[in-house]
């Protein structure tokens, strides 16, 4: 048998009379102070100058990562998670660690995963199969097919391939044309007016990829 003891700690307040650790006196009061008094004394200078400087403190950087979830209406169960990788996921140690932990939890559940990587630099997310280092990757994971998954790999010179969004086994999957969707967003947002294409891309393109088709 186990017993749980709950201990209570009380604190009492008492009035303490004695010599203070530090006293701040004017110059006149200091002269009147007895030599026998052992109190530590700090005097105020007659002409105080402000010697402070303005400094900047490091503030925590809050980064919000967005993702999409497809849930069952009746139960709220998450059927599919759609992740669009951000620079934080691939370029920072803490961001990558956080995402990989989330990815592992999804892969250990019965939830489908769509992982969209449209960032050329940074470490690619791990897979067991060795493939060439290609610019972009889209991974479609169906929970009932693990450890197998579909990988769509393509270069900057290729259009984004069409792929399907996995749902429940009895549901018809959704076909997604991500290329057309991004082109529509590009037009509506007016990115052709805000992006400076005279600036070199980061990372730089290979010579063959700089050539116009």
pLDDT in tens, 179-201: 999 999 999 999 888 888 888 88
What gap in Å lies between CA 16 and CA 13, rounded to an integer?
Answer: 9
Average pLDDT, the chain: 80
Rounded to whole angstroms, what are the CA distances from 146 to 68, 107, 110, 112, 180?
21, 8, 10, 10, 30
pLDDT at position 157 over 60: yes
Domain positions in the chain: 67-210
Angle at 205 between CA 200 and CA 207, to 5 degrees: 115
Rounded mean pLDDT of 82-86? 94
The pLDDT of residue 14: 39
Tokens 């290979």 belong to which residue? 206
Distance from C-alpha of 82 to C-alpha of 114, rounded to nearest angstrom: 5
Q: What is the pLDDT of residues 101-147, one digit of tens each?
A: 999 999 999 999 999 999 998 899 999 999 988 999 999 999 999 99
Query: What does the pLDDT read at residue 23?
Result: 47
Helix (H, G, I), strand (E, B) or coil at 130: coil
């Amino acid at each position: 048998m186990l017993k749980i003891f709950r201990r209570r700690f009380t604190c009492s307040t008492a009035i303490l009379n004695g010599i203070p650790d530090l006293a701040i006196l004017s110059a006149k009061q200091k002269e009147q102070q007895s030599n026998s008094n052992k109190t530590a004394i700090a005097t105020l200078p007659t002409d105080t100058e402000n010697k402070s400087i303005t400094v900047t403190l490091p503030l925590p950087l809050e980064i919000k990562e967005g993702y999409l979830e497809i849930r069952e209406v009746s139960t709220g169960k998450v059927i599919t998670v759609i992740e669009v990788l951000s620079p934080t996921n691939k370029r920072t140690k803490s961001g990558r660690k956080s995402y990989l932990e989330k990815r592992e939890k999804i892969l250990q559940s019965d939830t489908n995963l769509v992982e969209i990587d449209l960032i050329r630099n940074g470490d690619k997310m791990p897979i067991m199969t060795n493939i060439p280092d290609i610019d972009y990757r889209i991974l479609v994971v169906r929970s009932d097919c693990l450890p197998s998954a579909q990988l769509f790999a393509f270069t900057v010179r290729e259009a984004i391939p069409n792929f399907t969004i996995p749902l429940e086994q009895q549901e018809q999957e959704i076909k997604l044309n991500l290329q057309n969707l991004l082109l529509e967003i590009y037009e509506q947002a007016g990115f052709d007016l805000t992006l400076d294409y005279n600036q070199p891309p980061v990372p730089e393109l290979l010579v063959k990829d700089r050539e116009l088709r």
